[in-house]
Structure 1
Amino acid sequence: MKNNENISKIAIAKPQLQRHKVKLKIGNWKNHFDLNYVNTIIAMALSDFDDNISFDIKGYLITSQNLYLVVQTTEKSIEKMVHKIEIKIIFLLKNNPQKLKENRRETSFIADDENFFYEARKPLFKIYPLENGHLVKLITGEKVTLPYFDRDLKELKALIHNHPFCSAIHYLGGIDPVEMEEIKDSKKQ
């Protein structure tokens, strides 16, 4: 008789993943920094999640006004997920000091500016549902074709395929600034 036969095995269920499609409107804190710095900090925050948290980015687009995000996570609440992203951004802003833009002539460092930290205590994003199906498909690597010409779709494709902070780079085989996981199943959700 082997020793392994008497050991009972317990099956542990994997945590249920929730798929979230959100449009996050970037708050006024973005006005304190250069646009590329804001986009870079957001990309760093999305890439730098703890291994304990299941946070798989399926698609994203970071523009000057919004962050469009398609993720699968164990968080059931969108607000909790966004709050974790905001905490990462505040942490990165404190640890990667950049000069604040107060006006065109003056700059000050983040550590000395209490007004910025007051803004950072507010929610950094306003949460909206992502309802543009064409945008969701394009940032998750799917192709969108219509039997007719659509000027808005053509402009959206041009924006996404030429944008440096977009997951379309990853799906086209390039290296993008955010670590993400591709949708592997044939039927994309």
Structure 2
Amino acid sequence: MKKDENIKKVAVAAPQLHRHKVTLKIGNWKKYFDSNYVNTIIAMALNDFDDKIFFFINGYLITSQNLYLIVQTTEKSVDEMVSKIEAKIIHLLKTNPQKLKENRGEISFIADDESLFYAARKPLFKIYPLENDHLIKLITGRKVKLPYFDQNLESLKTMIQNHPFCSAIHYLGGIGPVKVTSFKDQIDSEE
């Protein structure tokens, strides 16, 4: 008998995942920085979850005003999930200093400006539900077809196809700034 045959395999129950669809309105802290820097910091924060925390991003879109997010996580409430994202953003702002915009009469570094950290404290976002079904489908790789022409839908499609901070890149076969777990990939990894 081989040694491996004596070892019993124990089945580990998969964690209970909760799906959240939220619109996070970016707070006033964004006005201190360039919009590309803000989008990059948010993308870095979304990628910064380690393997011990179950945080599967199924779709996202980061604009200058909002973060649209569809995730599956072990966090039961949206507030707990957003709190973890905010903590990561604050940590990244401290460890990746960027020059401030010239809206305060001078340029200083964020690390030297304690009043900015006071302004960038939680909450960094206002939480709203994501209720736009067309947006949800488009950022999760599904197509939206209507029997009639809808100008708003066409504008949304154009924006998403050309947006550098959107999960549509992943679903089209490219590599985007945020790691996305499509529904198919997530099912395959659980088996």
TM-score by length of 2: 0.90
How big is the shift at 1:159? 0.6
Counterparts of 1:15 and 1:28, CA distance in 2: 36
C-alpha displacement at 1:182, in angstroms? 1.3
1:59-98 superposed matches below 5 A: 59-98=59-98
Contact persistence 1:47–1:180 (CA under 8 A): no
What's the CA shift for 1:12? 2.9
Instruction: Tell me, in whole angstroms, the C-alpha distance in 2 between the residues paired with 1:59 and 1:42.
Output: 14
Paired residue for 1:57? 57
Following TM superposition, by how much is the alpha carbon of 1:113 offset from its aligned partner in structure 2, in angstroms? 1.1
Equivalents in 2 of 1:8, 1:49: separation in Å?
32
Count of residue pairs the alignment pairs up:
185
Partner AA of 2:97 in structure 1: P
**What SS is found at the alignment partner of 1:75?**
coil
Letter in 2 for 1:96: N
Distance in 2, Cα, partners of 1:64 & 1:141: 22
Q: For residue 171 of structure 1, report the CA deviation from its aligned partner.
A: 0.6
2:127 matched to which residue of 1? 127
Alignment match, 1:162: 162
The answer for the alignment partner of 2:189 in structure 1 is none
Q: Describe the superposition over 1:8-43 as per-residue Cα deviations: whole angstroms up to 9, x where unpaired.
A: 765431111111100000000000000000000000
Per-residue displacement from partner, 1:67-125 (whole Å, max 9, x unpaired)? 00000111111111001000110111100000112427521111111221111223000
Aligned pairs for 1:165-184 (under 5 A) are 165-184=165-184
Instruction: Provide TM-score, normalisation by structure 1.
Output: 0.91
Could you tell which deviates more after superposition, 119-128 or 26-35? 119-128
In 1, the alpha carbon distance for the partners of 2:7 and 2:171 equals: 45
Instruction: Specify the code of the residue in structure 2 equivalent to 1:101.
Output: K
- The residue identity in structure 1 corresponding to 2:91 is F
Unaligned runs of 5+ in 2: 186-191
Q: Which amino acid is 1:56 matched to?
A: F
Instruction: Name stretches of at least 5 consecutive residues in structure 1 with no aligned partner.
Output: none
4+ residue segments displaced more than 2 Å: 1-12
Deviations 1:107-151 (A, max 9, x none): 111111122111122300010000000000000000000000001
Identity of matched residues, %: 75
Alignment root-mean-square deviation, CA: 1.9
